[in-house]
Amino acid sequence: MKALTTSAFLLAITHLSAQNVLTADDAVRIALEQNFGIRLARLEARTAEVLNNVGNAGMLPTLDANGFYSVDNSSTKQTFFSGEVRQADNANSRVLDGVLAMNWTVFDGLTMFAAKDRLEALEMIGRNELRQQMETTVYDVLTGYFMAVQLQKAVIVQQEGLRTSKERLQIATAGERIGSASGLVVVQARLDLSSDSSAMLDLVQQRAIALTRLNVLLGRAPSIQTEVANEIPASEVLDLTTLQHEARAGNTAIQQAKQQQMLADISVKELRGALFPRVDLFGNLGYTKSTSAVGFLQSNQAVGPDYGVRLSVPLFRGLQANKAVEVAKITREQADLSMEQAQLQLDQQVLDAWMVYSTAQQRVALEQTNLSGISKQVDVALESYRLGMITSVELRDVQQGLIDAENRLLLAGYEAKAGELQLKWLAGRLI
C-alpha cells in the first residue's frame, strides 16, 4: 500500500511540476535574448565598435584651451649700469595668459593608419567573440533541453515499469490469498515495487536538476516550472566532407586565429612607424598681459596667432623601436603556429564528433529493433505469470529487460542529437 501511495505521489509530481510548455526553438530564442554570457559579450562587442573611430586612431587634430594667472609679490632691487637703483618692497607683478592650441599630426610613418586597422580588427574580434558565445550558449541550451527531454521520457518509461510491478504485486497478493503463491513471492514483489519507486524518485530529481540548469542558461529564475517535449527529434542526416569544408571556412575558433594573425601584422606596422619622421602642424591663438611694479615695462599685452610646422626625426632611442618590431615579428610567428594548431584541433574535433554521431545513429537503429521484440514479451510474460506458467523472477527479468532497452534507446537518441549539434557547432551553422 505504501509503494502504491509513493507511485501516485510521483505521478502527481510529474504532471504538476511543469506548467509552461517550452519548445527547443523557444529555448534558443529566450537564451539569445536573456543569457547573461551573451549579454556581456554583446556589450564587449559594442565597446570595441564604439572605440573604432578615426579619433582614437590619431587621425584628427587636437584642440586645447590653456590659461593661467599668477601674482608675484617680491621685494625687488635693480641696479643699472648708469648707477640708477630701483628698489621696492612687495613689488607686485601679475601675469594673465591664455592660449587656444591646435596640433595635427599629418605624418607619423603611417602609424595612424595601422592604428585604425587595429581598431577595425579589434571590432571584428569582438563580433567574433560574441558569435562564439552565442554558439556555445545555443549548444549548451539545446543539449540541456534534450537531456531534460530524455529524463522526462525515462520517467514515462519508469512509470510503465511501475505499472507492471504493481500488477505483479496484485497477482502475487491474490495468489497468496488463494494459496497458489507463497508469502515470499509477495515480499519480493513488494521489494521490487519499492525499488522501482526509488528509481522513479531518482529520475524525477535528475529531471528537476536538468530543468533548473536549463532555466539558468535561459537567463531566468531556476525555480520557474517548465515543461519540455516528450520526444527527442530524430537527428538530421549529415555529410562528413561537407561538414569539414564548412568547419574550415566558418568555424569561429579558426576565424579568431586568423584575426589574431591580422592583429600581429598590424602591430608590426604600428611599431615600424616609430622609425620614421613625424610631421605636425600647429597653431595657437594666445592672449598675454603682464604688469610689474618695477622694471623696464609697467605693462605688456600681446594678442594674436602663431602657427607653423614641427618636424621630429628619430635618430637614436636605444634600439627600443627595433627590438619592439622584432618582438612583434615573433608574435606574428606565434599567431601562425596557433592558426595551424587550431586547424589540427578542429579537424580532430570534427572526426571525433562524427564518430559519436554515426555510432549513436547505428545504436538507435539497433535498439529500435531490439525494443520492438521485447515490448511484445512483457504483456505475454505478465499473462503467463498470472496463469502460473513462469516465475516472478522470470517476469522481473523480462520487465527489467524492457526498461533497459528503452533507456538504451533514449540514450542513443540523445547522443545522436548531441553529436549532430556539435557537428553543426564546429561547422559554424548552429545559429
Q: What's the total number of domains in the chain?
A: 1
Q: Is residue 431 part of a domain?
A: no
The partner residues of 66 in beta bridges, in order of sequence, read: 99
Provide the Cα torsion 343, 346, 348, 354; round to 10°. Answer: -140
Q: Is residue 380 part of a domain?
A: yes
Cell numbers describing residue 293: 611694479
Cβ-defined contacts of 93-96 (< 8 Å, 24+): 93/290, 93/291, 93/292, 93/293, 93/295, 94/69, 94/70, 94/290, 94/291, 95/68, 95/69, 95/70, 95/288, 95/289, 95/290, 96/67, 96/69, 96/287, 96/288, 96/289, 96/290
CA angle 278–53–42, rounded 5-degree value? 140
Q: Is residue 71 part of a domain?
A: yes
Helices (H), 274-319: none
Rounded CA-CA distance 152/225 in Å is: 14
Rounded CA-CA distance 382/388 in Å is: 10
Give the pLDDT confidence score for residue 357 in this predicted structure.
95
Query: In CATH, what number is assigned to the domain containing residue 125?
Result: 1.20.1600.10
* Domain around 215: 2-426
CA angle 181–183–187, rounded 5-degree value? 115
Give the pLDDT confidence score for residue 180 in this predicted structure.
62
β pairing state of 226-227 and 85-107: unpaired
Rounded CA-CA distance 159/161 in Å is: 5
Q: Is residue 361 part of a domain?
A: yes
Count other Cβ atoms within 10 Å, centred on residue 209: 14
Q: Is residue 220 part of a domain?
A: yes
Rounded CA-CA distance 109/217 in Å is: 49
Q: Spell out the residues 6+ positions from residue 281 whose beta carbon is closer than 8 angstroms to its own.
A: 61, 103, 104, 106, 307, 308, 309, 310
Cell numbers describing residue 115: 592604428
Helices (H), 387-430: 392-426
Q: Is residue 193 part of a domain?
A: yes
Give the pLDDT confidence score for residue 47 in this predicted structure.
96
Cell numbers describing residue 325: 618590431
- The residue type of 214 is L
The partner residues of 226 in beta bridges, in order of sequence, read: 20
Q: Is residue 296 part of a domain?
A: yes
Phi, psi of 247 (to 5 degrees): -65, -45
How would you write the pLDDT of the chain (431 residues) with one tens digit per residue?
A: 444 444 444 444 444 444 568 999 999 999 999 999 999 999 999 999 999 999 999 999 999 999 988 887 777 777 777 777 777 777 778 888 899 999 999 998 888 999 999 999 999 999 999 999 999 999 999 999 999 999 999 998 888 888 877 877 887 787 777 766 667 777 877 888 888 889 899 999 999 999 999 999 999 999 999 999 888 998 899 999 999 999 999 899 999 999 999 999 998 888 888 888 999 999 999 888 887 766 666 678 888 898 999 999 888 776 777 888 888 889 889 999 999 999 999 999 999 999 999 999 999 988 888 877 676 676 677 777 677 777 767 777 777 788 888 889 999 999 999 999 999 999 998 88
The model carries a pTM of 0.80
Half-sphere exposure of 418 (CA within 13 A, CB side): 20
